[in-house]
Amino acid sequence: MSINKGQFQDPTTASEKGIHTDFAKSMTYGEYLNLDELLSAQNCLSDHHDEMLFIVIHQVSELWMKLILHETNSAIKAIQDGQLATSFKRLARVSKIQSQIIQAWDVLSTLTPAEYMEFRDSLGQASGFQSYQYRMIEFTLGYKTSHVLKIYEKDPVLHSTLTKAFHAPSLYDVAIQSLSKSGLEINSDLLDRDFSEPYEADESVKQAWLTVYRDVDQYWDLYQLGEKLVDIEDWLQQWRFRHMKTVERIIGFKVGTGGSSGVTYLKKVLDQRFFPELWDLRTEI
């Protein structure tokens, strides 16, 4: 028997709602963590020894992505509510998860090119390109690209959740709103912009961050917020770089199963930026 079907539930919340029943009292470790389901979800399609590594690395990464989204959405709400200290806790955790997730590349690098080629065909056209949570993270942080939505057209549930995140203000949008709430001058078009449009670097935002970074004592909270965002973008770029290099190490310049040019495409993605002014300001200080 399992409790948490579907979405993860915070046990405190569950007990507050009176869900702590007789079942919970006699509940085991495996039941609580839904291990039957979790540990029977590694369905290898080949009989190759190393496919298990490939599946587990991806599943672990997706679990961490789930927590990144949980924390980032909570941080967005905290910033909107003016609870910056709470948002710092959430965002610091996101960075720690990112540093953890990156370690997975060291494990995956033990897979040789020949071993991977022995089961690569079983993957068909599946690709990390289709990772729904990865796209949710991109949207939640503020990198919006409409072509990504097309990937999920055939899955109405995923498509509608992703579309909601596509139109919602991102972590960077709410950070810019909090600059304005603190009295810093921000181009008013940005504050109620169409949030589904890709964000473009703005001079007023750069000037506001420059003010914060030049007078850290006066704007301590906003400075902390800026640095938390820089940490997150820094780690995300490191993840992308390690992905690209690990892929080059394993498949060289072969085209990807998702139909892209492979490593050439992954190198281009490294140019995408999330919080441009937070990086640009450093040249001017």
Ligand X SMILES: N[C@@H](CC(=O)c1ccccc1NC=O)C(=O)O
Chain residues that interact with ligand HEM, rule: CB under 6 A: 57-58, 61, 108, 116, 127-129, 131, 134, 243, 247, 250-251, 256-260, 262, 265-266, 269
Pick the closer one to ligand X by CB: 258 or 276: 258
Pick the closer one to ligand X by CB: 63 or 251: 251
Minimum distance, C-beta of residue 58 to ligand HEM, in the bound complex (Å) = 5
**Where along the sequence are the contacts to ligand X (CB under 6 A)?**
58, 120, 123, 126-128, 251, 256-258
Minimum distance, C-beta of residue 258 to ligand X, in the bound complex (Å) = 5
Three-state secondary structure call for residue 217: coil
Q: Is there a binding annotation on residue 116? A: yes
For residue 43, which phi and psi values (nearest 5 degrees)? Answer: -95, 95
CA 169 to chain centre: 15
Burial of 218 (0-12, 13-18, 19+ CB in 10 A): exposed
Tokens representing residue 282 in the block: 């450093």
Q: Is there a binding annotation on residue 151? A: no
Pick the closer one to ligand HEM by CB: 188 or 264: 264
The entry of ligand X, ligand HEM, none that residue 242 binds, CB within 5 to 8 Å by partner kind: none
For helices 220-251 and 203-214, give the axis angle rounded to 10 degrees.
Answer: 110
The entry of ligand X, ligand HEM, none that residue 57 binds, CB within 5 to 8 Å by partner kind: ligand HEM
Torsion over CA of 97, 136, 44 and 240, rounded to 10 degrees?
Answer: -60
Pick the closer one to ligand X by CB: 119 or 209: 119
Let me know the angle formed at the C-alpha of 116 by 40 and 112, rounded to the nearest 5 degrees: 115
Q: Is there a binding annotation on residue 56? A: yes
Minimum distance, C-beta of residue 129 to ligand HEM, in the bound complex (Å) = 4
C-alpha span between 225 and 218 (Å, rounded): 14
